Amino acid sequence: VNNTEALKNIRIVLTRPSHPGNIGAAARAMKTMGLSDLWLVSPLQFPHGEARARAASARDVLEQAHVVDTLAAALEGCVLAIATSARHRELRHDVMDVRGAAREALAAATRPVAIVFGNEAAGLSADEAVRCAIWAHVPTSPDCTSLNLGAAVQVFSYELRMACAVAEVAPPAEFETATLDQIELLYEHFRTSMTTSGFYDPAKSGRLLQRMRRLLARTRLEAEEVNILRGFLKSLEKPRRT
């Protein structure tokens, strides 16, 4: 199931961003995760060359960004606003981590949903904060709690995409797994070679063969790897180059 359609209804709102580089980084972070709807509330400098530079191939997201004066304007038409600020503890109601908040956002995203980021230093004002139903919390080290704005947008956008994903991360099928019969023959080959070389001595070698069996059993070798190892063992049976 491809659920990424819902990402089109996610609006990323940056409130009074100070650094144009962060706006560009946010645009790139969004685009890599399949988001495109960027709203800027009273940006200090925009447009700006550094925003374009950091956006890299996501310049289209910048060019289509909506610039408005107030958070209220950025939330027009939205059914849910989620705040990501660390401030205003006293105003928070529904606090959850970003993973949970991303799921809530997607569940509501049959219509526009806003993810609201505060200014780099000051966060959100109290007036802005009260407009947000959910407070999303990024777990951080107590020693350093302040994510870069672009990085915060990246983490949230990533969680939004993960929430969509019925992940299609199938390993490439180009490698054929060895059968247990092939593994057994490889084990026998090792046993013979180790005996011939004098490395394995039934009277003295204890659990050696058991360890070899365990190693081969848990490795899940590919057929070609079995061939390589058996080819090597076979080469030992010929007169040695010296």
Residues within window 132-151 making contact with its own copies, judged by CB under 8 A = 137-141, 143-148, 150-151
- Interaction pattern, residues 106-135, with its own copies; x per rule: CB under 8 A: ------------------------------
- Interaction pattern, residues 169-188, with its own copies; x per rule: CB under 8 A: x-xx-xx-------------
Cβ burial 176-189 (10 Å sphere, 16+ → b, else e): eebeeebbeebbeb
| DSSP characters over 56-108 | GGGHHHHHT-EEESSHHHHTTT-SEEEE--S--GGG--EEEEHHHHHHHHHHH
Give the span between the Cα atoms of 154 and 171, in whole angstroms: 25
Q: Which one, 180 or 217, has the nearer CB to its own copies?
A: 217
- Interaction pattern, residues 75-94, with its own copies; x per rule: CB under 8 A: --------------xx-xxx
Q: How far is the CB of 29 from its own copies (least distance, A)?
A: 6
Torsion region of 97: left, alpha or beta (phi above 0 gives left; psi -120 to 50 gives alpha): beta
Residues 220-239 that bind its own copies (CB under 8 A): 221, 224-225, 228, 231-232, 234-236, 238
Which range, of 26-34, 76-84, 126-134, 181-189, touches its own copies by CB under 8 A?
26-34
